[in-house]
A and B are shown apart, each in its own frame.
Chain A
Amino acid sequence: MSTSLPPTQITPDISAIDAARLVASGEVSSVELTTLFLDRIEAHRDLNAFIEVPRERALAEAAEADAKRKQGAIAPLLGVPIAVKDLILTQGVRTTAASKILSNFIPPYDATVVSRLRAAGAVVVGKTNLDEFAMGSSNETSFFGPVKNPWDTSRVPGGSSGGSAAAVAARLAPAALGTDTGGSIRQPAALCGIVGMKPTYGRVSRYGVVAYASSLDQVGPMTRTVADSALLCGVLSGEDKHDATSSNRAVPDLVAACQRPVKGLRVGIPREYFVSGLSPEVKESVLRVAATLEAQGMIPVDISLPHSEVGLAVYYVLAPAEASSNLARYDGIRYGHRSTDAKGLTEVYRKSRSEGFGREVKRRIVIGSFVLSSGYYDAYYIRAQKTRTLIAQDFSNAFRDKCDVILAPTSPTTAFKAGEKTADPLAMYLNDIFTIPVNLAGLPGMSVPCGFDGQGLPIGAQLIGRPFDEETLFSVAAAFERVDTSWQKIPNGYA
């Protein structure tokens, strides 16, 4: 292993924007920067944040970035190492979705978001761990083992983008990509004390992202600063001819939006999000955010989102329904795990899938197949779709009449102990009670660090915006970040 010592001004706490600036100015090379983070990833393997680290390839990409810089190339992330959730396809680099069934799958193409990262000059340092097929809230369902939370390694990092969250919190990469179907970016961001952003549905292409629930899935950045989040969000966003659900709306300058004044903006506080099940410390911390924003000239308003309370129930009909369909392609015929002792077609299907999928994935396939089956479809799927519309209407009413942005907790609690909820799926599902309605309504949502509980575990506040109004979200998040220093704290042992 060749480890060149980086210049002293480089610390692993560097932001993506600062890293890009240093590479662009020639003060540090991408190879030095990439080596630093590859070495840290290696040194902190115990976190189990990564499934695949293509070291040589990453260094080659870094060298290429350096060569491009010398030729005068300018790109927003030129030479900056970025980690990518292993649900997102990387050409030539194994992509597993943390499942045994894809444990040997090497994609022949890059996801659109990866192509965009590369076009922006980024170096892919590794593929981060996750809950199998993004189904989970604690990163304990991964075929490659659980991820540990760097704030307390006996605790979970949240999920499903737990590897990305842990990697960014532990300073193993300046930034990472996650995906969010019901909170999978925001909840682990909250539990790991980082910034997690889920863009509006349709803002970012899903092409090349292993599908979980197609009408809810969205890729987004996981970073330590709001500005980094804005930069990455801008890089990832935009129409993609390969994704018919991607939007052709113009992508505004989101980094510039971070500087926009927030005075006079109305922040809605949904009363249904501050009730039972919410830990008092989280509640207190999030309400303090409201006070902080008010001190900056924003106007807190009480709002009601009455249908959000059934969001969880709706989600656990619709997401499994779509998942049961999306996962039908993993049949052991063309790629992926195929059982070695199957005789005949039916056995190939049954054994390959029985062996290849984990328990939680199977649970959701069974639920999904059930709610779509004839005789139950109307009572479950159709009813859930109707209720989904009501949930979305609550938000649009609030945004039309009352407020410009909504403030809510991201997760009802801080990071819980590993194994604490694995035996009780319902308790596990409740983790996403505040994030799920945002996916159902297709809105942009963001979790920002807003404090710590008595045990020193990070707390996240969730900001929710109008569809395609990521600008307001970033302006509010940045305004909060300027006066609250929670985001600066580094977990012990990861400085």
Chain B
Amino acid sequence: MEFEVVIGLETHVQLATSSKIFCGASAAYGGYPNEHVDPLTLALPGTLPVANKKVIEAAIMMGLATNCQIRRYSRFARKHYYYPDLPKGYQISQYDEPICEAGSVEIKLQSGAKRVIGLKRIHMEEDAGKNIHDVRTESSLVDLNRAGVPLLEVVTEPDLRSPAEAAEYLRVIRQIVRFLGISDGNMEEGSLRCDANISLRPLGQSAYGTRAEIKNINSFKFVERAIEYEIARQQSVLRGGGVVIQETRLFDSASGTTRSMRGKEESADYRYFPDPDLPPVVVEESWIEQIRSSMPPLPAALRRRLIDEYGLSEYDAEVLTAERSTVDYYLAVANAGKNRKLAANWVTTELFGLLKRDGLDIENAPVSAERLGELVGLIDEGVISGKIGKTVFEDMWSTGRSAAAIVEEKGLRQNSDEGEIARLIEGVLDSNPTQLGQYLSGNERLFPYFVGQVMKATKGMANPQILTKLLQDALKRRTGE
């Protein structure tokens, strides 16, 4: 029997705010254990949460970026369970009144086709701390640095159909949060984590099969691997005549397998109820508009703009919008250098080439976008040739000097003097009668030979377009003679 795979993802996005979601303690990653801890983080008696406005704004921004409906009135709720990394004995989350609902994101499949993945909800919540188990002393230690760091939980509809789609969806989410600047999307540091709900159903059946929830997926590589493993496991259960049981399974990245954590009957009763310490989150329309208008543009919109306004190819637009830093860099180059297509070529070939060679990120490129724009401008205006431009760029890269300074100092300005080039052409034709004879009798492949000779005569500084044009004219005249 053939099965259809049904996947829903719950993605936790750690927000890059400076303070925690309900208090002033630092939300920075790392630090000595329990360095970023204050009375509220410790859940001392009498402490009260106060919602960080930046978190609400980030949630609204994420909701707008994913076509969600923003609730005008949402609530924080308490989710109860006991664990040493959860100091209050409850997590402040959102339950039946999340801030964002009913959204969607578009993903591109390998075939090139696009698919819309529905989002059920996005809600705000606090992260838990971390328990560290010391095998030597057989004791457990608690680090609460991460406790209270703000998270957005983004929940999809069961719309994903393959491990590759799930991974692509996650990449899109990562790209969006990075473009919005609300998270660094770093999976290794846990800024992006996801749980996957997976079920199988016989092809053609509309009812969903029983699902298993896979927890603890913390890298792009593992998303696909964990889901693939779980699909294979469920398939073999079903093909063997068994039934999939509803349970929570833990992904073990070392073995690439999932194992049962707890079954449905053991699932905790979280006793959710609205947090009486936090007033409802009331979002006025004007606030949403303010956020919407201050929101940085998203990859999809930028791609459209690069294609429609900048005349770039779909491929270039895709490459240039992979990261916010790349598109920012490109736009600055294009602004300074006028010729937008030429700017795109320079960013995607020369700049990317040197970045790759030196193992650098675009943020650390030794040549600023404005400087590269100036270089593109010089090429576009014909002051230097593209070929010379490459050596100038290498020079800029290593010395940090401007293109204009290098061109002037080294005398790299190309020769666009038509009269002088025409004279040199005549000289070359006159002093190469054999080759000229062969050309005139039909061997047009000798054209580059004459170009080379003239270039040599100008020490390579002749403007190639002018040279080509004048040489063609001169040869035509001689044919007619």
Complex interface: stretch among A275-283, A369-377, A424-432, A467-475: A369-377
In residues 72-94 of chain B, which contact A (Cβ within 8 Å)?
78, 80, 82, 84, 87-90
A330 to B230, CA, bound (A): 39
A207 to B51, CA, bound (A): 14
Minimal Cβ-Cβ distance residue in A for B88: A329
A220 CB, min distance to chain B CBs, angstroms? 16
Known contacts A108-B39, A328-B82, A349-B82: A89-B46 contact under CB 8 Å? yes
User: 0/1 per residue, A425-464, Cβ < 8 Å to B?
Assistant: 0000000000000000000000000000000000000000
Question: Which residues on the B side are within 8 Å of A333 (C-beta)?
Answer: 84, 87, 142
Question: Which residues on the B side are within 8 Å of A243 (C-beta)?
Answer: 48, 50
User: 0/1 per residue, A199-216, Cβ < 8 Å to B?
Assistant: 000000011111101110
The answer to whether A329 and B43 have CB atoms under 8 Å apart is yes
User: 0/1 per residue, A234-255, Cβ < 8 Å to B?
Assistant: 0000000111110000000000
The answer to whether B87 and A329 have CB atoms under 8 Å apart is yes
Decide if the interface of chain A is mainly helix, strand, loop or mixed. loop
Question: Which of A215, A334, A369 is the one whose CB lies under 8 Å from B87?
Answer: A334
Question: Which of A210, A214, A242 is the one whose CB lies under 8 Å from B50?
Answer: A242
User: 0/1 per residue, B238-254, Cβ < 8 Å to A?
Assistant: 00000000000000000
Q: B277 within 8 Å of A by Cβ? A: yes
A54 to B127, CA, bound (A): 39
Q: A138 within 8 Å of B by Cβ? A: no
The answer to whether A107 and B50 have CB atoms under 8 Å apart is no
B46 CB, min distance to chain A CBs, angstroms? 4
Q: B269 within 8 Å of A by Cβ? A: yes
Question: Which residues on the A side are within 8 Å of B82 (C-beta)?
Answer: 328, 331, 349
The answer to whether B269 and A374 have CB atoms under 8 Å apart is yes
Question: Which residues on the B side are within 8 Å of A329 (C-beta)?
Answer: 43, 45, 87-89
A95 to B39, CA, bound (A): 15
The answer to whether A328 and B89 have CB atoms under 8 Å apart is yes
A108 CB, min distance to chain B CBs, angstroms? 6
In residues 129-174 of chain B, which contact A (Cβ within 8 Å)?
140, 142
The answer to whether B87 and A373 have CB atoms under 8 Å apart is no
The answer to whether A210 and B45 have CB atoms under 8 Å apart is yes
In residues 265-322 of chain A, which contact B (Cβ within 8 Å)?
321-322
Question: Which of A206, A325, A345 is the one whose CB lies under 8 Å from B78?
Answer: A325
Known contacts A321-B273, A333-B142, A372-B273: A328-B42 contact under CB 8 Å? no
Question: Which of A207, A334, A345 is the one whose CB lies under 8 Å from B47?
Answer: A207
In residues 350-365 of chain B, which contact A (Cβ within 8 Å)?
none
A242 to B50, CA, bound (A): 7
The answer to whether A381 and B273 have CB atoms under 8 Å apart is yes
The answer to whether B271 and A369 have CB atoms under 8 Å apart is yes
Question: Which of A102, A325, A349, A369 is the one whose CB lies under 8 Å from B45?
Answer: A102
Q: B388 within 8 Å of A by Cβ? A: no
Question: Which residues on the A side are within 8 Å of B386 (C-beta)?
Answer: none
The answer to whether A377 and B89 have CB atoms under 8 Å apart is no
Decide if the interface of chain B is mainly helix, strand, loop or mixed. loop
The answer to whether A95 and B50 have CB atoms under 8 Å apart is no
Question: Which of A109, A206, A209, A372 is the one whose CB lies under 8 Å from B39?
Answer: A109
The answer to whether A111 and B46 have CB atoms under 8 Å apart is yes
Question: Which residues on the B side are within 8 Å of A349 (C-beta)?
Answer: 82
Q: B181 within 8 Å of A by Cβ? A: no
The answer to whether A107 and B46 have CB atoms under 8 Å apart is yes
Q: A406 within 8 Å of B by Cβ? A: no
B252 CB, min distance to chain A CBs, angstroms? 22
B142 CB, min distance to chain A CBs, angstroms? 7
Question: Which residues on the A side are within 8 Å of B140 (C-beta)?
Answer: 345
A105 to B44, CA, bound (A): 10
The answer to whether A105 and B45 have CB atoms under 8 Å apart is yes
A335 to B87, CA, bound (A): 11
The answer to whether A325 and B50 have CB atoms under 8 Å apart is no
Q: A125 within 8 Å of B by Cβ? A: no
User: 0/1 per residue, A357-371, Cβ < 8 Å to B?
Assistant: 000000000000100
Q: B49 within 8 Å of A by Cβ? A: yes
Question: Which of B43, B44, B51, B88 is the one whose CB lies under 8 Å from A108?
Answer: B44
Most chain A CB within 10 A, of B42, B43, B44, B48, is at B48
The answer to whether A244 and B49 have CB atoms under 8 Å apart is yes
Q: B448 within 8 Å of A by Cβ? A: no
A102 to B88, CA, bound (A): 15
The answer to whether B84 and A345 have CB atoms under 8 Å apart is yes
Known contacts A108-B39, A381-B273: A244-B279 contact under CB 8 Å? yes
Minimal Cβ-Cβ distance residue in B for A96: B45
Question: Which residues on the A side are within 8 Å of B283 (C-beta)?
Answer: none
In residues 57-106 of chain B, which contact A (Cβ within 8 Å)?
78, 80, 82, 84, 87-90
A199 to B190, CA, bound (A): 45
The answer to whether A211 and B271 have CB atoms under 8 Å apart is no
Q: A222 within 8 Å of B by Cβ? A: no
Question: Which residues on the B side are within 8 Å of A335 (C-beta)?
Answer: 42, 44
Minimal Cβ-Cβ distance residue in B for A369: B271
Q: B278 within 8 Å of A by Cβ? A: yes
Q: B31 within 8 Å of A by Cβ? A: no
Most chain A CB within 10 A, of B45, B47, B142, is at B45
Q: A166 within 8 Å of B by Cβ? A: no
Q: B276 within 8 Å of A by Cβ? A: yes
A330 CB, min distance to chain B CBs, angstroms? 8
A208 to B84, CA, bound (A): 23
A170 to B272, CA, bound (A): 45
The answer to whether B48 and A207 have CB atoms under 8 Å apart is yes
B92 CB, min distance to chain A CBs, angstroms? 11
A244 to B50, CA, bound (A): 6
Question: Which residues on the B side are within 8 Å of A109 (C-beta)?
Answer: 39, 44
A377 to B80, CA, bound (A): 14
The answer to whether A334 and B48 have CB atoms under 8 Å apart is no
In the A-B complex, the 8 residue pairs with the smallest Cβ-Cβ separation, listed nearest first, are: A328-B89, A215-B276, A372-B271, A214-B276, A208-B46, A329-B43, A210-B45, A244-B50
B-binding residues in A (CB < 8 A): 88-89, 95, 97, 102, 105, 107-109, 111, 206-211, 213-215, 241-245, 321-322, 324-325, 328-329, 331, 333-335, 345, 349, 369, 372-374, 377, 381
Q: Known pairs A109-B39, A211-B46, A329-B89. 8 more at Cβ < 8 A?
A: A107-B46, A209-B46, A213-B276, A244-B50, A244-B278, A324-B271, A372-B272, A381-B273
A-binding residues in B (CB < 8 A): 39, 42-51, 78, 80, 82, 84, 87-90, 140, 142, 269, 271-273, 276-279
Q: List 10 A-B contacts (CB under 8 A).
A: A209-B46, A210-B45, A244-B48, A245-B48, A245-B276, A322-B276, A325-B78, A334-B87, A345-B140, A372-B271
